[in-house]
Amino acid sequence: MADRPDTRSQAGSNKPALALHVPEPKYRPGDSVDYSDLDIGEAGGQPRPDEACDPKDMHELAFGLVRVLGEDNKAHGPWDPKLDPETLRAMLGHMALTRAFDERMFRGQRQGKTSFYMKCTGEEATSIASSMALAADDMVFPSYRQQGILIQRGYPLIEMINQIYSNKGDKLKGRQLPIMYSSRDHSFFSISGNLATQTPQAVGWAMASAIKGDSRIAATWVGEGSTAEGDFHSACTFAAVYNAPVILNVVNNQWAISSFSGFAGAERTTFAARALGYGLAGLRVDGNDALACYAAERWAANRARANAGPTLIEFFTYRAEGHSTSDDPTGYRSAQERTEWPLGDPVMRLKNHLIALGEWDEERQDEMDRKAAEKVRETTKQAEANGILGHGLHHPFRTMFEDVFEELPWHLKEQAEQAIKEREIKFPGGLKL
């Protein structure tokens, strides 16, 4: 509803007063949540067009929800990727490990072992299942909540923890905020922290791959809130103009810190519908349905690899936890949103699907969760031997001035000498530099 304008300025005028609309989420702390008006459609109800489909012939897919897993825990319809049980169990394993990792790292931050952490609870499928649909050497340009990709690609957990602790084992030399990983070996681009900047970069990488006649494609992930950045518009424009082999994944988890998706335009249309104005293929997908996430990403990957064009995918999901360790969502949203979320929990849904297939049971799930927690605990211990944030076991002091440029210019040499002098004054008697 529009806010009532200040009518005093209109005194004496018979022109209708203009009114500014400031979006307001439906539910605030303490409110009862009712999602019955949310149209989530039926699992299996969406058509699956050919991957070379003209974007104008698939408009409806930008407004519905591609869903595979039904209430009956079975896979339905043309988007069923028909994955074998072994692959499904591997997918579930990555999701369980990611969740265990998030739990442990969140606690580590609360225990003062690092400054910052971000969980992806409830959104695991949007990174893990979609990443499994790509080739291992397709280049990914993630935002800060796709740790699932690294876990799926087999990046060693200890490297992640070293980075989170900014310790002496940190391959990024303690320079980056925790969780801003980078791994060239895993085709995982350096995470920025500035929002949506990775989107045109992914398009540029894809353009380069096409210029070179390569076969690798690029994929990027961005939050729905960050689609408001100009970079995202640039990315969509360049992707469409050059028919770049790229997938633009928008993770619509409903909340950008305390701003609900309405502040990025969700009251008017879907994020997948952004694709239509650019002439991109647009898919809107149940982001808590791992099979749908996999199927949509594979569809887009096949399309890109066949030079048939880029795709914008909206993963419709819910950020079950706070934005980060620095955020307290009880201050701005209703706690019932999480429990009432009509698309459920992605880990539970995949687990129940495997059970329904007769390929899994609760005992094996407990064992999987226990082993995941154990692995994280063990690895955390190993990483702590390299130090935790603020406890001295960081990278050698001189590395601070490296990598600003390929070669150290004179002014940085001078500043490095100054910094060394400061250390000697502060720690007389010799602290390791």
Interface residue list for another protein (CB under 8 A)? 139, 141, 171-173, 175-176, 180, 182-184, 189-190, 192, 194, 197, 199-212, 218, 230-231, 233-235, 237-238, 241, 403-406, 409-411
Q: Which is nearer to another protein, 35 or 401 (CB)?
A: 401
Catalytic residue among 332, 338, 364, 423: 332
For residues 68 and 289, the answer to whether their CB atoms sit within 8 Å is yes
Checking DSSP bridges between strand 259-260 and strand 255-256, what pairing results, if any?
antiparallel
Beta-carbon count within 10 A of 226 CB: 21
Distance CA 181, CA 176 (A): 8
> Whole-angstrom Cα distance, residue 263 to residue 350?
32
Least Å distance between CB 134 and another protein?
16
Length, in residues, of the chain: 433
Tokens of residue 179, six digits? 């969780």
Measuring CA to CA, which residue among 196, 70, 151 is closest to residue 376? Answer: 151
The nearer residue to another protein, 239 or 372, going by C-beta atoms, is 239
CB of 404 to another protein, least distance (A): 5
Nearer to another protein, 97 or 139 (CB): 139
Of the pair 15, 411, the CB lying nearest another protein is at 411
Q: Active site includes 318? A: no
Cβ of residue 318: shortest distance to another protein, in angstroms?
A: 29
DSSP notation for 50-116: -TT--GGG-GGGGTS-B--B-TTS-B-STT-----HHHHHHHHHHHHHHHHHHHHHHHHHHTTS-S-
Catalytic: which of 298, 323, 349, 394? 323
Three-state DSSP state, 251: strand
The minimum distance between CB 8 and another protein, in angstroms, equals: 37
121/249 with CB nearer another protein: 249
Of 133, 413, 408, 161, nearest in space to 298 by CA: 133
Distance (Å) of CA 14 to CA 7, 9, 97, 174 = 11, 12, 64, 64
Phi, psi of 19 (to 5 degrees): -135, 130
| Residue 378 CB, nearest approach to another protein (Å) | 26
Minimum Å gap between C-beta 207 and another protein is: 6
Between 95 and 203, name the residue whose CB sits nearer to another protein.
203
- The answer to whether 375 and 97 are in contact (CB under 8 A) is yes
Q: What is the rounded distance in angstroms from the CA atom of residue 240 to the CA atom of residue 234? A: 10
Shortest Å, Cβ 116 to another protein:
15
Residue 300 structure tokens: 């887009």
Q: How far is the CB of 212 from another protein (least distance, A)?
A: 8
The residue (of 197 and 336) whose beta carbon lies closer to another protein is 197
- Minimum CB distance to another protein smaller for 370 or for 421: 421
State both tokens at 338.
């999480």
State the catalytic residue, choosing from 319, 353, 394, 395.
Answer: 319
Whether 323 is catalytic is yes
Give the HSE-up count for residue 150: Cα atoms under 13 Å, Cβ half-sphere: 29
373 CB-contact burial (10 Å; exposed 0-12 / middle 13-18 / buried 19+):
middle
DSSP structural state of residue 288: T
Q: What are the catalytic residues?
A: 319, 323, 332
